[in-house]
Amino acid sequence: MEKEQILTSLKAAREGEKRKFVQTFELAVNLTNLNLKKGEGKFSEDVQLPHGKGRPVQIGIFADGELAEKLKKQNVPTFSKADINDFQTKKRDARKIARKYDFLLAQTDLMVLIGKTIGQILGPKGKMPKPLPPQGDPAALLARLQKSVRVRIKDDPVIHVPVGTEAMTDEQVADNILAVMKTVMLKLPKGLDNLGPVYLKTTMGKAVRIQ
């Protein structure tokens, strides 16, 4: 996929009806020749976008003790061990967390408990938390995730991922798309033979084919 192709498609995607809010550019990558029932080609990867996705990324952390106190001072949403146990009887709250947060992190010593209590809710949505050492400083990881999106193939042969907003330049969005496509191509077992039509659209706009 060439950058010029993407820039041409971006121009076409911007020509739709103007809305009263800043729309997101959404990339749809169709896949072919994959037997997902046998797990062929399935993957989940966090891709760092060169220019971020144009909106704040929502990150929540399961933490206790000193780490939790440190995070609270930084205004990072945290969930304690007691909260995790409460989720066993408050499944609706657990589902809200899975919907609200783009990424979840957790102290390593809480991972087993999370798996037992709400793993069945977070897992299917690709929201199982990444582990954090209890004494670790999550600042670097938080900064990286603020510019990341999760690219995932599970049950359907199509990838949907936000790659920027109308407030960003075409060059910035194009760079983000190229970063996503590079990761996808590296993960596909048959490379181009697994790649079907690729489309770009704004939130309320019509899909424009890139290739």
Same fold, 3-54+147-209 and 59-145: no
Torsions phi, psi for 169 (to 5 deg)? -75, 160
Q: Domain extents for the chain?
A: 3-54+147-209, 59-145
Q: What is the pTM of this model?
A: 0.88
Give, in words, the CATH class of 59-145.
alpha beta
Q: How many CA atoms lie within 13 A of 153 on its CB side?
A: 26
Cβ(102)–Cβ(150) below 8 Å: yes
Q: What architecture does CATH give domain 3-54+147-209?
A: 2-Layer Sandwich (3.30)
Helix, strand and coil in the chain, % to nearest 5 = 40, 25, 35
Instruction: For the chain, 211 residues long, give each residue's pLDDT as a single digit of tens.
Output: 899 999 999 999 999 878 999 999 999 999 999 999 888 888 999 999 999 999 999 999 999 888 888 888 888 899 999 999 999 899 999 999 999 999 999 999 999 999 999 999 999 988 999 998 766 678 888 889 999 999 999 889 999 999 999 999 999 999 999 999 999 999 999 999 999 999 999 999 999 999 8
Which pLDDT does position 92 carry in this prediction?
A: 93
